[in-house]
Amino acid sequence: MCGIVGFTNSVGDTGEIIGAMMDRIRHRGPDAEGKYVDEDIALGHRRLSIIDVSSQGDQPIFNEDGSLVIVFNGEIYNYRQIRDRLIDAGHTFSTNTDTEVLIHGYEEYGEKLLNMLRGMFSFVIWDKKKKELFGARDFFGIKPMYYAQMNGTFMFGSEIKSFLEHPSFVKELNTDALENYLTFQYSPADETFFRNVYKLQPAHFFRYKDGKLEMKRYWDVHFDADNGPDLKEWVNRISDTFRDSVKAHKIADVEVGSFLSSGVDSSYAAAVAEVDKTFTVGFGNDEKYNEIGWAKEFSKAIGKENTSKVITPEEYWDSLKKIQYHMDEPLADPSAVALYFVCNIAAEKVKVVLSGEGADEIFGGYNVYSDPDGTLYDRVPRVIRRCIGNIAEKLPAKRGVNFFVRKGKDVEERFIGNAYMFKPEERKALLKIKTSAPDPTALTRRYYKRVKGKDDVTKMQYLDLHMWMAGDILLKADKMSMANSLELRVPFLDKKVMALAQTIPTKYRVTHSKGTDETKYITKYAMRLAAKKDTPKQTAKTAAKKKLGFPVPIRVWLKEDKYYNIVRSTFESENSEKFFNTPLLVKLLDDHRSGKADNSRKIWTVFIFLVWYSVYFDNNGKY
């Protein structure tokens, strides 16, 4: 696991500039650094040593004749098999690294190499002869890649903050991203919060030559149910495939640990992987916000050492600027801070951890997936439900009312992912500034088109796999682990696991059957049964337990004087006045405090943007 940076075209002090860019992301790789500079390009690398921990694995790495040079961030779990094929084809290796497999693989197979890989990656290869840059990002977007074309320079890197050190970089807020963020709680489009800086999308590669950038998708998810096998067969297939993935994800020359909450995903991974150590965090003593007791009990049952930490409110709030600095773009997911702290305690004892990200998206684990056609009300004719929904939408937002609003709309109209903060009309009222941000459904439409004709559960999963998972789940997983120089691996997000999951019938992903113990689980149905089969009895309790994730008591804190006042002063600040109608912000805050409405997530969305803006625009990327 590492960090990469680079840029084309020569500038006055190329070596110093690439060095400064590398320093900005030192946290991604404190073990070693390396760079390559010529008249056309500068490449930089920071290394966290996991495989071939000797200096032989330092980057950049070259092919035999030195005509190709690579910088790489990630891990390729099947690199040994590809390496054997390349040796048979006549390639000579000077290291035992997966990095060198990539450069020889590209030399042999070109872009076709990408679909041969099993792992997480973002890498760039410079072809000296062609003067061409080739870059790629992994299938799910586990590892990040940003790029920008400014003032004749093409720059790229694992984190946007490295661009701040380049003289050609123009730092300007992208207000379209702000408006989109107010709805999604993350930046959902290809563009970022920095104008003219973009994300290379998951499962895409690019070529850059003579000032021209070409981009192409090389892989996608294709849900196509196989109705042949029965439930028992699916459970066995999941068990075998996941065990194989965990085995691959444990490849390392250093010790591997695992995160552990009370949920089935992390418990399944920790038990099957047989790691030596598990890590857990929580808040206070309330079981709603603290899973430590559950995690310690489970760790004891599987014979592992558990390290835990109770995060105090003061620690949480004091860390917010640091968190948003490392995030690069504002992310209003409160669990990002909890993830930072669990990474922090893990990094004191191991270099690599396994985590349960991705299981919900690929196996159908979110509670909202059980909503379509899941009630008697769904049998009411659609035209009547739509009429009732239109009436309900005009009433004050409440849980029961929201049900009728939801049921009155098609999934394409109502579902944009697991977070829906401000509706388009609400964000327009909140913002002082005018933007050209599209309606949320304009951003989701291209994904829904690809699964036209599929059932609603499949549509929602496909959308979450491409937007929510990459924009929120994997963003915070990468940035919070790398902030602590820790490699985070996600065995559910494996090509072979996905190839299996996309063929599981919807009824085995989300079921509404109730009765026996074997049919009571609603979401991730077949996967839960596989977890129950493969792990100790305690997992059976875990498989049935309501999903918490990293529960954070934001709604409680915002009613306390100390934190209410922090947020209010931020809402009434000069920065806030630049963008927002501040009286509306204060009303959201006061209504929450008085109990008129739970506005905690909306408040947090705006507050986190203002924290991030202060870090990057008041302090030039310092906290």
Q: What is the mean pLDDT of residues 398-424?
A: 84
Look at residue 290 in the predicted model and tell me its pLDDT: 76
Return the CATH architecture of domain 2-178+194-217: 4-Layer Sandwich (3.60)
Look at residue 550 in the predicted model and tell me its pLDDT: 53
Q: Which residues are catalytic?
A: 2
Look at residue 32 in the predicted model and tell me its pLDDT: 86
Look at residue 465 in the predicted model and tell me its pLDDT: 97
Q: What is the mean pLDDT of residues 480-494?
A: 96
- 72 strand-pairing partners: 123
Question: Domain 231-365+467-544 classified CATH 3.40.50.620?
Answer: yes
Look at residue 307 in the predicted model and tell me its pLDDT: 95
- 256 strand-pairing partners: 352
96: amino acid identity, one letter: N
Lowest mean pLDDT among 39-48, 215-224, 504-513, 566-575: 504-513
Tens of pLDDT, residues 101-135: 999 999 999 999 999 999 999 999 999 999 999 99
Look at residue 516 in the predicted model and tell me its pLDDT: 46
Lowest mean pLDDT among 49-53, 148-152, 515-519: 515-519
Which residues belong to CATH 3.40.50.620 in the chain? 231-365+467-544
Q: How many CA atoms lie within 13 A of 194 on its CB side?
A: 24
Q: Which residue has the higher pLDDT, 404 or 427?
A: 427
- Provide the mean pLDDT of the chain: 91
Question: 541: pLDDT confidence band, cut at 50, 70 and 90?
Answer: low
Look at residue 518 in the predicted model and tell me its pLDDT: 46
Backbone torsions φ then ψ of 3, nearest 5 degrees: -135, 140
- 542 strand-pairing partners: none
Q: What is the mean pLDDT of residues 295-323?
A: 93
Look at residue 539 in the predicted model and tell me its pLDDT: 53
Q: Which residue has the higher pLDDT, 574 or 538?
A: 574
Q: What is the mean pLDDT of residues 203-207?
A: 98
Which residues belong to CATH 3.60.20.10 in the chain? 2-178+194-217
Question: 517: pLDDT confidence band, cut at 50, 70 and 90?
Answer: very low
Q: How far apart are CA 525 and CA 360, in angstroms?
A: 11
Helix intervals (H) in 91-206:
98-109, 175-184
Look at residue 286 in the predicted model and tell me its pLDDT: 61
Lowest mean pLDDT among 51-60, 400-409, 544-553: 544-553
Look at residue 253 in the predicted model and tell me its pLDDT: 73
Find, among 49, 54, 240, 76, the residue nearest to 142 by Cα.
76
- Rounded to whole angstroms, what are the CA distances from 335 to 263, 343, 477, 551, 570? 15, 12, 10, 7, 21
Specify the pTM: 0.93
Rounded percentage of the chain residues whose pLDDT exceeds 70: 92
